[in-house]
Amino acid sequence: MTWLFDFWRSSIGGKVTMAITGLLLFGFVVAHLLGNLQLFAGPEAINAYARFLHERQGLLWVARLGLLAVFVLHVVTGIRLARGNRAARPVPYAKDDTVQATFASRSMVFSGLSLLVFVLYHLLHFTFGLTNPAHYARKAAGADGHDVYAMVTASFHVPAIAIAYAGFQIVLFLHLRHGIQSLAQTLGLHHGRYTPWIARASVVLALFVAGGNALLALSVLSGLVTVAP
């Protein structure tokens, strides 16, 4: 096990850890969005999906604990790498591209920590029901106890909540776009011919996830998705 810890502590090991955990977290946000997009299909569709997940408690807990471990590893390794970069270079280089790279990695730490705040708020909101207990109670009050449609639409009907969710998606977009480019670089895909395609793909993928989430919140706010009575 010590070799694994030594590998993680090395600079390349840290980058590989960020790439693998980042890819897994990206897989989660895509899957989560595809599930949530069922809000557009109406209450039956999204509530059946919620019931399906909750009927598989064993599997759900394995996935939750796995996700938590991956998330913690991603945050801890990211902070370690950023601190290592700063310690190794207390005086920034004057050369333009290096200054840009430092700015990009600093902004990744900033956007990453902002996302941590979002995820904590999001868990308090929809998983623990602490920020808006009345909205959370609507989930349990549904016919089968899984009225996610009523809970989510009641929440996004409140302008401050919908706008806060949509606003955080800008941060998610920036983090995913740069993260996908870093991942490609760690995998060695930074050949002159691929780089412009990777840059385009990172914009499309990040826009899909962040735009999809923002669309959900704003569609309820604007009345495109009907709020449950």
Q: Which of 126, 132, 186, 218 binds ligand HEM (CB under 6 A)?
A: 126
Rule CB under 6 A: is residue 81 a binding residue for ligand HEM?
A: no
Q: For the CB of residue 192, give the shortest distance to ligand HEM in the complex, in Å.
A: 33
Rule CB under 6 A: is residue 152 a binding residue for ligand HEM?
A: yes
Sign of the Cα pseudo-torsion (56, 20, 105, 195, in order): negative
Q: For the CB of residue 91, give the shortest distance to ligand HEM in the complex, in Å.
A: 35
What DSSP element (H or E) covers 71? Answer: helix 57-88
Rule CB under 6 A: is residue 23 a binding residue for ligand HEM?
A: no
Report the residue number, 59 or 199, with the smaller CB distance to ligand HEM: 59
Distance CA 19, CA 16 (A): 5
Distance CA 183, CA 181 (A): 5
Q: Which of 161, 217, 221, 225 binds ligand HEM (CB under 6 A)?
A: 217
Q: Which stretch binds ligand HEM (CB under 6 A): 75-83, 87-95, 179-187, 209-217?
A: 209-217
In this structure, what is the dihedral angle of CA atoms 158, 170, 12, 191, given to the nearest 10 degrees? 150
Report the residue number, 78 or 165, with the smaller CB distance to ligand HEM: 165
| 152 within 8 A of 144, measured Cβ to Cβ | no
